Amino acid sequence: FADNQIRVISPWKVEISAPEGIVNASKSFTVNSPKIALNGDAAVSQGLNVTGQSELSGGAQIGGIDFGNHVHSGVKSGGSTTQGPQ
């Protein structure tokens, strides 16, 4: 193994099929691609940082509050601020 690495370089599509798959990396795991598709539910058990533009076409909840259809109470004109979302 050159440089203590295993590299797979292919000019064609590479596909892996199995009933289950696990990747264990003790330092980090990076995927470099201009587009990534996750075709199924995704669960994140730790923090998530997003630095680019995000689109959520199916809606989202934050702390149990519907992000796209929530209301704010205490709305006043001028420089006032609203109370928290409901």
- List pLDDT tens digits, range 7-60: 889 999 999 999 999 999 999 999 999 999 999 999 999 999 999 998 888 888
The pLDDT assigned to 70 comes to: 78
What is the domain count for the chain? 1
Give the whole-angstrom CA distance, residue 64 versus residue 86: 10
Q: Is residue 21 part of a domain?
A: yes
The pLDDT assigned to 24 comes to: 94
**Nearest one of 76, 30, 70 to 84, comparing CA atoms:** 70
- DSSP H or E run through 62: strand 61-62
Q: Is residue 58 part of a domain?
A: no
Q: Is residue 61 part of a domain?
A: no
Q: Is residue 16 part of a domain?
A: yes
pLDDT band at 1 (very low <50, low <70, confident <90, very high): low
Give the mean model confidence (pLDDT) for residues 61-86. 78
Q: Is residue 38 part of a domain?
A: no
Domain with 13 in it: 1-26
Q: Is residue 55 part of a domain?
A: no
Q: Is residue 14 part of a domain?
A: yes
Q: Is residue 3 part of a domain?
A: yes
- Write down the pTM of the prediction: 0.59
